[in-house]
Amino acid sequence: MKVLVPVKRVIDYNVKARVKPDQTGVDLANVKMSMNPFCEIAVEEAVRLKEKGVATEVVAVSIGPAQAQETLRTALAMGADRAILVQTSDDLEPLAVAKVLKALVGKESPDLVVMGKQAIDGDNNATGQMLATLLDWPQATFASALEVSGSKAKVTREVDGGLQTLEVDLPAVVTADLRLNEPRYASLPNIMKAKKKELAVEELASLGVDTAPRLKVVKVTEPSKRTAGVKVETAADLVSKLKTEAGVL
Amino acid sequence: MAVLVIADHDNASLKDNTEKTVTAALKLSGDVDVLVAGQGCKAVADAAAKITGVRKVLLAESAELGEGLAESMEALVVPLMANYDAVLTPATSQGKNFSPRIAAKLDVAQISEIVDVVDGSTFVRPIYAGNALETVQSADAKKVITVRATSFKAAADGGSAKVETIAAPAKPAKTHFVDQKLVKSARPELTGAKIVVSGGRAMGSAEEFQKVIEPLADKLGAAVGASRAAVDAGYAPNDYQVGQTGKVVAPELYIAIGISGAIQHLAGMKDSKVIVAINKDADAPIFQVADYGLVADYKAAVPELMSALAAAGK
Ligand SMILES: Cc1cc2nc3c(=O)[nH]c(=O)nc-3n(C[C@H](O)[C@H](O)[C@H](O)COP(=O)(O)OP(=O)(O)OC[C@H]3O[C@@H](n4cnc5c(N)ncnc54)[C@H](O)[C@@H]3O)c2cc1C
Ligand SMILES: Cc1cc2nc3c(=O)[nH]c(=O)nc-3n(C[C@H](O)[C@H](O)[C@H](O)COP(=O)(O)OP(=O)(O)OC[C@H]3O[C@@H](n4cnc5c(N)ncnc54)[C@H](O)[C@@H]3O)c2cc1C
């Protein structure tokens, strides 16, 4: 069984994003970039499927600038077998990313796509669902447990009131939630080994996919800031302030 | 322009995310219909018919719609879109699960988690864990939108729209519902509650979480929330998680106990009207957004708070 794992290079989750003064976007110059945390979880899950003997090959793919090769090397160091970069300097919207991934699925014919539920920059939480729709594959989003047996996958999902379990026929798209697993750190020997693994680079244009943006960014602004309030000395103080000053009790 | 709002409900009752999403929809158009899809949910449709400003309620029922299968929701909504220019869904887990499918099928962008409507094609949405607000203009003929309900006031009751039953789509072939374990609670819904009491990693165990956070919440008639660390550690169920990748809340009062205030947590609660933090570390980042901070060990502070509330008649 072959597993395809789309991974995205994003601002590191520890870094607070700053809006550019000209309101054209977020300042990413000299900012630490990393693999999107949900994509790390997806890679980990795919590698575990391989370690269990369920998957035979794990292919990581990213759509982005040349620097996204670093992200793919991280995936390879975690245990992916090979990687594909679809290179572009454009910022693609989820629908465009899903269309590019569909084209890659056509070439690679995976049995399963495991990806992050959400990228922590765009925060769209949309790409996996769109990919499943375009492929007419079943989807199981926000997975906190994944069990593959034969031509089916059983997926436990984090839903509004608790947990839901679905069984989907393969091939399928699964998106990873936080509690699916705890991703490993790549060891130094594995980082070295990853340098020798295959990383193919393809130009976005060569795929012939329509990735024209549908949304125009008018501006990006800073949200109104909260300021620190006061410290209270005792719980009784707190209650009296909440009652009389804030009026929320 | 006609707009379809997809109701949030649990087959038994309508959630106020729906009324809030209707408010967003009314900013786009005066012709707003509500779709109630589920099973055994006629009462929900009747409740939706009472929302002021709603033109008509569509009711579709089947087992798969009741289970909330994304494939079924898409198959139901996409043909309806022949009659609508926009579809708005509350950005719950359920909404986030199926709405992108509608967008992909219609070959349009999804405009995710809007917090404001500027005009018929221009919307504001948070990105980067709410550290930036993006104003986007859509060039698509049909708009597929998810709505951050906490950013809109609930439309009032007072309407009397007609409820029209429509056919449910065929069962999806490749997705099968196995089971569902929902947390039952008599407490208010986390995303709509007036008061939220949240506990963090400091609780140290599920027993402690239940002993400290829950009685305080019950005294205040509050919903219970948690940080990711508390959920990961198994102190609280997953649907309690507040934050960038959990639930977004904006209550009148948010009380954070033993929570440090990571960016991802703040993303889910910083629009609360009043924030209270109880933390033993005076430098915890949560104090930078708290209106009232109590630097104390929660083990002493929470019992004191319980008695102070009792003394104040709570
Ligand atoms: C420098 C820069 C600036 C940007 N500025 C903006 C902006 O101002 N406004 C805006 O709307 N967008 C902007 N984008 C694009 C935006 O960050 C997202 O790429 C886009 O909106 C996709 O949404 P998402 O990542 O939130 O998707 P989600 O649906 O949240 O992503 C879910 C999953 O899809 C997969 N995935 C997503 N993208 C890729 C990819 N490229 N390669 C491989 N897998 C992927 C991953 O598995 C990910 O976990 C910018 C991007 C860059 C690089
Ligand atoms: C991709 C991604 C998504 C995430 N999404 C979310 C999200 O949606 N929501 C979320 O909450 N987090 C999220 N996180 C995690 C986030 O980064 C933090 O790790 C998490 O919020 C920390 O939880 P905490 O504040 O409970 O724990 P800690 O940061 O460990 O803080 C515990 C606090 O308790 C205090 N304390 C300890 N003992 C006591 C005592 N006896 N009395 C009083 N105070 C005490 C300490 O001083 C400390 O400040 C995400 C992280 C990633 C990478």
pLDDT digits (tens, 9 = 90+) for A7-20: 999 999 999 899 99
Mutation pick from A18, A238, A244, A245 vs chain B, by most beta carbons of B within 10 Å, is A238
Note the pLDDT of residue B314: 84
Q: Which atom of ligand 1 is nearest to the CA of A94?
A: 22
* Mean pLDDT of all residues belonging to chain A: 96
> Which residues of chain A have a CB within 8 Å of the CB of B99?
126, 129
Position A177, amino acid: D
Q: How far apart are CA B32 and CA B1, in angstroms?
A: 9
A246–B304: do the CB atoms touch at under 8 Å? no
| pLDDT, average across residues A40-58 | 98
C-beta of residue A112 within 8 angstroms of C-beta of residue A174: yes
Residue that the structure tokens 């594959």 belong to: A137
Burial class (CB in 10 A: 0-12, 13-18, 19+), A244: exposed
Phi-psi region of A25 (alpha: psi -120 to 50; beta: other; left: phi over 0): left
A-interface mutation test, from B9, B11, B93, most A Cβ less than 10 A away: B93
Rg (CA), chain B: 20
Pairwise CA distance, residues B90 & B149, whole Å: 6
Distance A11 CA to ligand 2 centre (A): 20
Residues in B touching A137 (Cβ below 8 Å) = 174
**Are A87 and A32 a contacting pair, CB within 8 Å?**
no
Ligand showing the shortest atom-to-Cα distance for residue A28: 1
CA torsion through residues A199, A204, A208, A213, sign: positive
> Any idea of the CA torsion for B207, B211, B216, B221, to the nearest 10 degrees?
70
| pTM given for the model | 0.90
Ranges of H-type helices in chain B = 16-26, 42-49, 63-66, 70-80, 93-106, 206-220, 228-232, 263-266, 298-311
Question: Quick one: CA dihedral B241, B244, B248, B251, positive or negative?
Answer: positive
Residue nearest to atom 53 of ligand 1 (CA): A91
Comparing CA positions, the residue from A153, A52, B19 lying closest to residue B8 is: B19
- Can you give the pLDDT at residue B272? 96
Q: Quote the DSSP letter at residue A26.
A: B
| Alpha-carbon span B86 to B145, nearest angstrom | 7
The residues pairing with B187 across neighbouring beta strands, listed in sequence order, are none
Return the residue whose CA atom lies nearest to atom 38 of ligand 1.
A8
Pick from B172, B181, B252: which is nearest to A248 by CB? B252
State the nearest Cα–Cα gap between B160 and chain A, in angstroms.
29
Residues of chain B by 3-state class (helix, strand, coil), percent to 5: 35, 30, 35
Residue in chain A nearest B289 by alpha carbon = A228
Please tell me what DSSP assigns to residue B9. B
Q: Does ipTM top 0.90?
A: yes
Minimal C-alpha gap between A149 and chain B (Å): 15
Q: What percent of chain A has pLDDT over 70?
A: 100
All residues of chain B having their beta carbon less than 8 Å from the beta carbon of residue A140 are 175
For A124, nearest residue in chain B (alpha carbons): B112
pLDDT digits (tens, 9 = 90+) for A108-164: 999 999 999 999 999 999 999 999 999 999 999 999 999 999 999 999 999 988 999
Cis peptide before B303 (omega within 30 of 0): no
For B246, which DSSP code? S
Ligand 2 site-directed mutation target among B131, B191, B238, B260, most atoms within 8 Å of CB: B260
Tell me the two tokens of residue B197: 């009491």
Written in H, E and C, the secondary structure of A124-146 is CCCHHHHHHHHHCCCEEEEEEEE
Ligand nearest to the CA of B268: 2
Cα–Cα dist B290/A232, whole Å: 11
The identity of residue A143, as a single letter, is A
Which residues on A lie below 8 Å from B112 (Cβ)?
123-126
Q: Is the pLDDT of residue A205 over 90?
A: yes
The first and second tokens of residue B95, run together, are: 């909404």
Quick check: CB of A65 below 6 Å from ligand 1?
Answer: no
**Per-residue pLDDT in tens (0 to 9) along chain B, 314 residues:** 999 999 999 999 999 999 999 999 999 999 999 999 999 999 999 999 999 999 999 999 999 999 999 999 999 999 999 999 999 999 999 999 999 999 999 999 999 999 999 999 999 999 999 999 999 999 999 999 999 999 999 999 999 999 999 999 999 999 999 999 988 888 998 998 999 999 999 999 999 999 999 999 999 999 999 999 999 999 999 999 999 989 999 999 999 999 999 999 999 999 999 999 999 999 999 999 999 999 999 999 999 999 999 999 88
* Confidence at residue B90, expressed as pLDDT on a 0 to 100 scale: 97
Element (H, E) at A240: helix A235-240
Give the integer Cα–Cα distance in Å for B158 and B243: 34
A129 vs B175: CA distance, rounded Å: 14
Q: Which residue of A has its CA nearest to B302?
A: A235
pLDDT at A102 over 90: yes
* Residue A69 scores a pLDDT above 90: yes
Q: Which of A118, A169, A222 sits opposite B174 (nearest CB)?
A: A169
The rounded distance, in Å, linking the Cα atoms of B151 and B91 is 11
CB-CB contact of B193 with B222 (8 Å)? yes
For residue B296, the Cα-to-chain-centroid distance in whole angstroms is 31
User: Max Cα separation, chain B?
Assistant: 60
Alpha helices in A17-163 (DSSP H): 37-51, 68-78, 94-108, 127-135
Q: How far apart, in whole angstroms, are the C-alpha atoms of residue B51 and residue B161?
A: 8
Sort out which chain B residues have CB atoms less than 8 A from A125's CB and list them. 96, 100, 112
Interface contact flag, A238 B292, Cβ < 8 Å: yes
Half-sphere exposure of B56 (CA within 13 A, CB side): 11
A36 lines ligand 1 (CB under 6 A): yes
Looking at beta carbons, which residues of chain B come within 8 Å of A16? 131, 263
Distance of CA B201 to the CA centre of its chain: 23
Q: Which residues line ligand 2 (CB under 6 A)?
A: A 13, 37, 120; B 200-202, 227-230, 241-246, 258-260, 262, 264-265, 268, 279-281, 284, 297-299
